[in-house]
Amino acid sequence: MSPAKALKKRKNNFNAGKQLPGYFYPMKILIIEDDKETRDYVSTGLKEAGHNIDSARDGYEGLLLAKEAKHDLLIVDRMLPDLDGLTLVKMLRSGACHVPILFLTTMCGIDDRVEGLNAGADDYLVKPFAFSELSARVNALLRRPRGTVEQKVLQVSGLEIDLLKRVVRRSGQIIDLQPTEFRLLEYLVRHAGQVVTRTMLLENVWDFHFDPKTNIVETHVSRLRTKLNAGNKSDLIHTVRGAGYMINEAA
């Protein structure tokens, strides 16, 4: 079904009073998509779900909006005019933008997905897509905790994670992490002293309830290790062969 036909069907459902999937409170979402039909389809569907939507038609406009306004989620096409989506996401992440990002693209190869996720995206959905799946992925990203009032700081083995400021320190030195690396480290620290399996990480860090058949977990763990161990510090993340990973509760 084309986006235009799907949009017409969604409008009919909406006018008929059928409840559409979405959050019970509005979020501000930025859609960066050059194809007007797709942009309107996604925008209308998310508005019907109760969200507030901004949109951009090219990479530079999207970059400007992402920097100027506070959004809860970005939906980004990879093949954008002027500034491609991959470069856009890398620029945002290098500028300490921690907003969840979902790539929505026709680039469907395994290498494309790995490249997109490694650039800093939190999820990756290939066109053509079902709006129900997009809506579920959007809700999953918006559900992810940003820290709790009860526990503002996590500490283990000389490592400190400030959940509100999103700052990580080891031995007093700040460690610059990408959003996915931050979530990965937070999950490992919350389960310090326990073996965390690859499946647990896929489900709780990436919200993948299937095996993507890539080395995305191993790649991120390796990159996180490198950053944590800078300056010849001891290895904080231990590999438990055949089982998963573990951070010891005491150094």
Domains and CATH numbers, the chain: 3-143 (3.40.50.2300), 153-247 (1.10.10.10)
Peptide bond into 128 cis (omega under 30): yes
Alpha-carbon distance of 190 to 182, in angstroms, equals 12
Per-residue b or e along 78-91, where b marks 16 or more CB atoms closer than 10 Å to that residue's CB: bebeebbbbebbbb
- Model confidence over 114-168: pLDDT tens digits? 899 989 998 999 999 999 899 988 988 888 765 333 457 899 988 999 887 889 9
Alpha carbon distance 167, 231 (integer Å): 19
pLDDT at 232 over 80: no
> According to the model, what pLDDT value does residue 52 have?
92
pTM exceeding the 0.75 threshold for the entire prediction: no
Q: What pLDDT does 26 receive? A: 76
Per residue in 15-72, pLDDT (tens digit) is 333 333 433 457 899 999 999 999 999 999 999 988 999 999 999 999 999 988 889 9
CA 13/CA 20 separation, integer angstroms: 8
Separation of alpha carbons 183 and 172, rounded Å: 20
Q: Tell me the average pLDDT across 210-227.
A: 91
Span 97-115, average pLDDT: 91
Query: For residue 231, how many other CB atoms are within 10 A of its CB?
Result: 8
Do residues 193 and 242 make contact, with C-beta atoms less than 8 angstroms apart?
no
* Structural tokens at position 157: 């083995």
Spatial distance between the Cα atoms of 203 and 92, rounded to a whole number of angstroms: 25
- H-state helical runs in the chain: 3-15, 36-48, 59-68, 85-94, 110-118, 131-143, 179-190, 198-204, 216-228
pLDDT computed for residue 20 by the predictor: 39
Confidence of residue 189 (pLDDT cuts 50, 70, 90): very high
Close Cβ partners of 3 (under 8 Å, ≥ 6 residues apart)? 37, 38, 40, 41
Give the pLDDT of residue 2: 53
Q: State the pLDDT at residue 203.
A: 87
Under 8 Å between Cβ of 72 and 27: yes
Joined together, the tokens standing for residue 231 give 């300056």
